[in-house]
């Protein structure tokens, strides 16, 4: 899976009965189903039941059990409410009779109102000045730890360019933040806003816990820490296009009780704030 068309195919579910949809999975390098995939597929299911032109503005989800890559996922959508301005859908994802994930999403009719937004972080290097994951693998493959190298070798429909590159051999704690430029691969055709939001949600589960891990880099890394997404929330503010690089600016206010919390803002290159994200994830030290 290495183009946006592949990703759209993955996120486009089969409707098996009224308000019931089924999807398959593709690995991103983990033995379990990628959380971003389940988030985006659940939103695809929810959006398919919206027939009044309303636009997704927020979602909140919990990951209950790890998903199996080889088993189809069934998404059951409940029509919770269709009010005068908002429509709410609840999605339950199941595998072999087990509930692995739940999501609530809210859709709002288009309205005009007051506007403001925060600014993009200043003095961020442009993507043209940075190496992508693919370029890092090509240039430094032999020096990259084997677990990270295996992860980077997976074909993806998105290219990432981290602004701050963490050297795993420098055992020092870093600021609890990270900034990553991203761009989807392949020919970019016109897309409905709902599809763009689903793709953005898929991408939002990448990199976010890295900000929490950075603060403990002197002792914690992906090889000695069990990590998993526990919950994920997202708010969608403005329409956008994927025709240029976008910035995911992430910071982690807290880690405690074997959990890390991080929040992020997604901007266009021009500085338009498109969405905000919050996630708490498992960060459990692996005992030897």
- The 10s digit of each residue's pLDDT in 191-238 is 999 999 999 999 999 999 999 999 998 888 877 888 889 999 999 999
pLDDT score for 136: 79
165 dihedral zone (left: phi>0; alpha: psi -120 to 50; beta):
beta
Give the closest residue to 107 by CA, choosing from 56, 178, 176, 35: 56
Q: Catalytic residue positions?
A: 205, 229, 279
Map residue 49 onto helix, strand or coil. Answer: coil
| Mean pLDDT, rounded, for 258-273 | 97
N residues, the chain: 288
Evaluate whether 19 touches 31 at the Cβ level (below 8 Å). no
Q: Give 55-106 pLDDT, tens digit per residue.
A: 999 999 999 999 999 999 999 999 999 999 999 999 999 999 999 999 999 9
Instruction: Give the span between the Cα atoms of 76 and 101, in whole angstroms.
Output: 11
Q: Flag whether pLDDT at 110 surpasses 70.
A: yes
What pTM value is reported for the model? 0.93
pLDDT score for 137: 78
């Amino acid at each position: 899976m290495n183009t946006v068309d592949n990703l759209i195919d993955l996120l486009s579910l089969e409707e098996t009965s009224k308000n019931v949809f089924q999807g398959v999975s593709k690995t991103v390098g983990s033995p379990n189903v990628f959380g971003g995939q389940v988030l985006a597929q659940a939103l695809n299911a929810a959006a398919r039941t919206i027939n009044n032109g309303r636009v997704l503005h927020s979602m909140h989800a919990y990951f209950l059990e790890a998903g199996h890559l080889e088993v189809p996922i069934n998404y059951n959508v409940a029509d919770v409410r269709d009010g005068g301005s908002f429509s709410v859908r609840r999605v339950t994802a199941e595998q072999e009779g087990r509930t692995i994930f739940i999501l609530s999403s809210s859709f709002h009719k288009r309205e005009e109102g007051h506007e403001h937004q925060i600014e993009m972080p200043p003095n961020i290097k442009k993507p043209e000045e940075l190496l992508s994951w693919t370029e890092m693998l090509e240039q430094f493959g032999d020096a990259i730890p084997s677990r990270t190298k295996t992860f980077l070798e997976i074909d993806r429909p998105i290219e990432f360019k981290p602004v701050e590159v963490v050297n795993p051999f420098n055992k020092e704690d870093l600021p609890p933040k990270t900034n990553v430029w991203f761009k989807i691969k392949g020919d970019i055709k016109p897309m409905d806003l709902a599809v763009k939001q689903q793709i953005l949600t898929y991408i939002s589960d990448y990199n976010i816990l890295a900000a929490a891990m950075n603060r403990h880099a002197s002792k914690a890394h992906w090889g000695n820490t069990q990590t998993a997404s526990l919950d994920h929330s997202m708010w969608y503010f403005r329409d956008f296009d994927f025709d240029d690089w976008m910035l995911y600016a992430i910071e982690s206010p807290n880690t405690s009780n074997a959990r890390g919390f991080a929040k992020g803002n997604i901007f266009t290159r021009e500085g338009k704030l498109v969405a905000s994200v919050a996630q708490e994830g498992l960060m459990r030290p692996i005992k030897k």
